[in-house]
Amino acid sequence: MPRKTVLGLAVRIIVVGLIILSLRDLVSIGGAFLSFWGQEENSQIGQFIPMFLSPVVMLIIAALLMKNIDRIAERAYPAETEDDIDEVGVFNLAMKITGLIFMVWAIPDLVQIISKLCYISYLAPSIYHQEQTMYVADHLPNSLLFLLLGWYLLKSGRLFTKMAFKMKNE
Q: Give which of 116, 107, 108 is closest to 136, Cα–Cα.
A: 116
d(CA 85, CA 143): 32
Of the chain, the percentage scoring pLDDT greater than 70 comes to: 83
Give the confidence band of 141 by pLDDT, cuts at 50, 70, 90. Answer: very high
The total domain count for the chain is 1
Strand residues in the chain grouped as ranges (E): none
DSSP category for residue 119: H
pLDDT computed for residue 41 by the predictor:
59
Q: Is the pLDDT of residue 17 over 70?
A: yes
Query: By residue range, what is the domain housing residue 40?
Result: 3-169
- The residue type of 101 is I
Phi, psi at residue 124, to the nearest 5°?
Answer: -50, -50
23-66 pLDDT, tens digit per residue, is: 888 888 877 777 766 665 555 666 667 778 888 888 998 999 89
Q: What is the mean pLDDT of residues 15-29?
A: 86
Q: Is the pLDDT of residue 149 over 80?
A: yes
pLDDT computed for residue 133 by the predictor:
81
